[in-house]
Chains A and B, each alone.
Chain A
Amino acid sequence: MEILTAMAIGILFAIGIFQILRRNVIRSAIGLIILSNAINLFLLSTGDFQGILPAYVDTPAELRSDALPQALVLTAIVISMGGIAFVLSILYVISSRYKTSDLDEIQGLKN
């Protein structure tokens, strides 16, 4: 289970980074979403991950997963949601101004 989780997070991370580096703005925004999900999964797995039992009071201590990373992940999800909503809205403004979704054609800052 641990190896499977690690591999899944790794693959998600790789896909995220690869998509971020694409020229298409929509693809790179999706890459950002995947990357932030990969990081959230990583954070979740830091909490002594057993995968089965939640952190209730009567769970045996050795099987219990740590509750703090779950709280951290909740906060991180909310923040990344806000961030991605903002990225998408900026993308909308930019792509309607330049009539393109190709990052190489958005060159206003190149003087």
Chain B
Amino acid sequence: MISNQVVLLPILIPLAGAFLILLLHTWKVWQARTAFAVMLLSLVSSGWLTYQVWFTKEAVIFQLGGWIAPYGISLVADYLSVLMVFMSQLVLFLGVTYAMGAKDHNIKYPTFYPLFLTLGVGLTGALLSGDFFNLFVFAELLVISGTILTAISDDRLGAEAAFKYFYISLLASAFLLLAIGCLYISYGTLNMADLAVRIQTNPDQPLLYFAIALLTATFMVKSAVFPFHFWQPDFHTAAPTAVSAMLSSVVVKLGVYGFLRMTTLIFVDQSQELKLLLIVLGVVGVIFGGLSAIATQNAKRMLAYSTLAQVGFILIGIGWGTMLSIAAALVFTFNHSLIKAAMLMLAGSVASRSKVKSAAFEVITGVGKSMPFAGMLFFIGCLALAGIPPTNGFINKYLIFESGINIDAALVVILLASGGLLTLIYTMRAFQKIWWHPLTESDHLKPKGDRLIAPSLLILLVIAFGLWAQPLIQYSQITSSWLLDPQNYIQSVLDTIITQGW
């Protein structure tokens, strides 16, 4: 396999764009337009990467600086990374589109778009890196940009929520560094493929299980799994709408990616307990997230709790660990990003119409009366979250239940189904409150809210992937069977040929 520089593009384009936009800080309109163009370019490049991986049927790999695999840093775009990168770039692109039409004050800060793009760089880089330390660096970039974006939110509580999150995630990255140290002292490498080989040949190092535990804790904080979730609803509620749509849809998927890599590549032989833990915590997350979402009095907070529940479904798919269930988890990951981003954008655009900018139900009850189109979109989004047929949410739930029934996990499937019913309760309640109830303080609506282009495109994709799910399912099944043989990844990284020039 030949080292290929295309992998760099989805990282380099937004990074270069961020600095370019920082230079344009006096021209606000051009900042937004440049950000749009840069994200479009970056989306195209990641689409090209996906195309290459899908049609050449092998991973695209770049060895930075021309150092061969275990010694240098590798950027690996295998089936899994490419799917996640394409998903992230798609949602980030639509996030920039939403930000361009948003009425928030923080959009006008000169650092908003640069930070938005570095958020994308951090996420893409973490998904593409084939090296643990590189993953740490990109994850920190992601965390810092996300936190600053929340701290500058219009919501007064933004700084507090950012503080809360940043403490937790600094601790999580401290754990990640400790895990890196443990792995390095035991195996002398940080390259994931090389690490997988060395762990397979020598699984008796005393620090190995310690490292696994620390990595598990890190990724659980990153994707807000049940006992580590407490920062997530505050953080996702206080963030500006365009940002919280990213945080709650694609950024939480970094932890999912980490668990996939841990269970299918690095710690394959040691992952039995981890998988069991993922199933248990996933079920608890589904039930707890659903109940908490019913109990909250704020539309964005409700959607943040719903993310907790939906990530639970994905973790259960990873925990079962069969070909079908991992494919289901991948489909769920992709589709949930689209649905959740759309829902949060719609909730945010409703909140932008009310006098006080807040998504609390007492403020936005009845606001929807004057925006019927948003109501239609929100209703479709509700159906998708609950998993009702013409949408892609149905495909998600169907695949998860099917893979559960295939391995006779009846109890988990029943619990999941009841958790799924909770989704229907809270989404429909939110829909009724916003669109059916009469307006409490009638005269105070702002004439214009955020533009609905981005959520409409996302809902269009939601329906499209619901009606035409075949390519995504097929791709996920290929990915899943590719992942289940760790030799695929290991060989493609370690056997890369470095060629001179381009």
Binding site for B on A (CB under 8 A): 20, 28, 32, 35-36, 39-40, 42-43, 46, 68-69, 72, 75-76, 79-80, 82-83, 86-87, 90-91, 93-94, 97, 106, 108-109
Contacts and interface: CB of A to CB of B under 8 A. Distances in A.
Given A83-B144, A83-B166, A93 B159 contact: yes
A75 B163 contact: no
Given A39-B174, A72-B184, A109-B164, 18 more contacts: A28-B167, A39-B178, A42-B178, A43-B177, A46-B181, A46-B185, A69-B184, A83-B144, A83-B166, A86-B148, A87-B167, A90-B162, A91-B163, A94-B159, A106-B160, A108-B156, A109-B160, A109-B161
18 contacts: A20-B167, A36-B170, A39-B181, A43-B180, A46-B181, A69-B181, A69-B184, A83-B144, A83-B170, A83-B173, A86-B144, A86-B147, A86-B166, A90-B159, A90-B162, A91-B163, A108-B160, A109-B161
B133 interface: yes
Contacts of B177: 39-40, 43, 76
Query: Would you list the 7 A-B pairs with minimal beta carbon distance, nearest first?
Result: A46-B185, A43-B181, A90-B163, A46-B181, A93-B159, A79-B140, A109-B234
How would you classify the secondary structure of chain B's contact residues: helix, strand, loop or mixed?
A: helix
How would you classify the secondary structure of chain A's contact residues: helix, strand, loop or mixed?
A: helix
B282 to A, nearest CB: 26
Interface residues of B, number: 30
A3 B289 CA distance: 46
Given A76-B177, A79-B140, A87 B156 contact: no
B358 to A, nearest CB: 12
B342 interface: no
Interface in B146-168: 147-148, 151, 156-157, 159-164, 166-167
Contacts of B156: 108
A72 B178 contact: no
Contacts of B173: 79, 83
B163 A79 contact: no
A87 B167 CA distance: 8
B410 interface: no
Nearest to B238: A109
B170 A87 contact: yes
Given A83-B140, A94-B160, A75 B133 contact: yes
B161 A87 contact: no
A75 B137 CA distance: 8
Given A79-B140, A82-B144, A109-B157, A94 B163 contact: yes
B122 to A, nearest CB: 12
A87 B163 contact: yes
Most buried by A among B136, B147, B185: B185
B159 A42 contact: no
Contacts of B163: 87, 90-91, 94
A42 B180 CA distance: 10
Nearest to A80: B170
Contacts of B162: 90
A60 to B, nearest CB: 19
A35 B159 CA distance: 23
A82 B166 CA distance: 12
Contact of A87 (B133, B157, B166): B166
A45 B447 CA distance: 62
Contacts of B151: 90, 93
A50 to B, nearest CB: 14
Most buried by A among B157, B164, B173: B173
Contacts of A69: 181, 184
Contacts of B164: 109
B462 to A, nearest CB: 31
